[in-house]
């Protein structure tokens, strides 16, 4: 039997808006990674070929690294790639395991939504900090944390609904 025959097709269970959101996020991640790569190449070229290091390139590369890492993890990293503890899930039927995973994801989403006020407080503190060379306000970078927290929560809600509806065989996206 081929893999396609044994693996349930869950792509039809994904809401079209959610699928479009993920596609846009993939393109944004690719663009940020390309910018990070080009910044790194420019940094190496100027430092080792021209012997004139770019002061700003290290800061830009660091900022882009943080942004692309958090953004991609929040929007595209499959649940199975995140740390999880599911030792007992194999003891239950697929349906019960899906419901338990769904409830766990809804709890996680609730915690993420509840963390938004604290994230805003940290953001207020970060607006007082600037980078050395560019004097870039770190609050502008970390304002993305609110998006990351909300993206994690929204993904958890979508995945919870899918898990509860289809059981543990619903897969992870």
Q: With both helix axes pointing from N to C terminus, report the angle between 144-166 and 55-75 in degrees, rounded to the nearest 10.
A: 20
| Residues recorded for the chain | 173
Q: What are the structural domain ranges in the chain?
A: 13-79+92-170
SS3 106: helix
In DSSP terms, 130 is beta-bridged to 137
Please tell me whether the overall predicted TM-score, pTM, comes out greater than 0.75 for this model.
Answer: no
Buried b (16+ CB within 10 A) or exposed e, 82-101: eeeeeeebeeeeeeebbbbb
- Could you read off the pLDDT tens digit of each residue along the chain, which spans 173 residues? 444 444 444 455 667 887 898 899 999 999 999 999 999 999 999 999 999 999 899 889 988 998 898 888 888 887 666 666 667 777 888 888 888 889 989 999 999 999 999 989 988 888 888 888 888 888 888 888 888 889 889 888 988 998 898 876 655 54
């Amino acid at each position: 039997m081929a893999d396609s025959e044994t693996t349930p097709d869950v792509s039809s269970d994904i809401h079209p808006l959610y699928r479009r959101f993920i596609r846009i996020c993939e393109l944004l991640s690719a663009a940020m990674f390309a910018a990070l790569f080009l910044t790194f190449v420019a940094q190496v070229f100027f430092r080792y070929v021209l012997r004139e290091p770019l002061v700003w390139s290290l800061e830009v590369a660091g900022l882009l690294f943080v942004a692309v890492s958090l953004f991609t993890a929040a929007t595209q990293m499959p649940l199975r790639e995140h740390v999880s503890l599911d030792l007992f899930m194999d003891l239950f039927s697929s349906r019960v395991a899906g419901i338990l995973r769904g409830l766990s994801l809804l709890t996680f989403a609730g915690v993420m939504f509840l963390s938004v006020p604290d994230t805003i407080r940290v953001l207020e503190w970060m607006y007082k900090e600037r980078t050395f060379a560019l004097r870039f306000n770190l609050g502008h970078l970390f304002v993305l944390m609110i998006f990351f927290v909300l993206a994690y929560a929204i993904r958890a809600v979508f995945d919870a609904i899918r898990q509860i509806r289809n059981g543990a065989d619903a897969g992870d996206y």
